[in-house]
Amino acid sequence: QAKDGLTGVSICRKCIAPKPARTHHCSICNRCVLKMDHHCQAAWLNNCVGHYNHRYFFSFCLFMTMGCIYCSISGWEMFRDAYAAIETYYQTPPPTFSFRQRAFHKSVVYLWVLCSSVALALGALTLWHAALITRGETSIERHINKKERQRLQKKGKVFRNPYSYGSWDNWKVFLGVDVPRHWLTRVLLPSPHPPHGTGLSWDLPPCVSQQRAPLLAI
């Protein structure tokens, strides 16, 4: 919101204000979002994923996927027994299952199918974002960089992402790991630490040892 002294790469045509690098206008939120990745319309978020909550979004996807995989694996035997019991409902003579037992069988089948489906769908989304983080990109930048890479390739030039510091350093920047002990205090344990930078400018993070190649390399 502070516009004074802000170096804008461009001007947002809708906000009529300087738009810093990696900032994009969200038509749903009707505002510019720092380092915008995407607008998540899912019931659990219903908000933009950007500079200040991207790490929380990825952590949620990762832990939810791991939880669903755990439930699917540990509940496989119960699912198989419940499914076999449901197949006997229409036999002659019918089995003597009570209403509570039938409800339990159907609930176990529903639980396993739901957890397995979420694990597959959310697991694919988690892998996609893990690949983006490894390359130092957001979902929006992925499409922009792809077009820019193709355009420069026709001119005999090579595109270099100026916000990528290498696969390992990109993860350190994303997770906020400045010293080795942060892998425990900031990654394995819950931590409310803010992300690197303000989102208005992109200086070299302290955890990165050296500057990478510039935007364009002939």
Per residue, the 3-state secondary structure of 7-69, as one string, reads CCCEECCCCCCEECCCCEEECCCCEEECCCCEEECCCCCCEEECCCCHHHHHHHHHHHHHHHH
Annotated catalytic residue 40: yes
Of the CA atoms within 13 Å of residue 147, those in its CB half-sphere come to 4
Coil vs helix vs strand at 155? coil
Active-site residue, from 40, 61, 68, 207: 40
Tokens linked to 127 = 């892998």
* Helix residue ranges, H only, 75-98: 76-87
Count Cβ neighbours within 10 Å for each residue of 65-90 and write b for 16 or more, e otherwise.
beebbebbeebeeebeebeebeeeee
**Is there a contact between 64 and 51 (Cβ–Cβ < 8 Å)?**
no
Question: What region, left, alpha or beta, does residue 166 occupy, with left being phi > 0 and alpha being psi -120 to 50 degrees?
Answer: left
Encoded amino acid at 10, one letter: S
Provide φ and ψ at 104, rounded to 5°.
-65, -45
Catalytic positions are 40
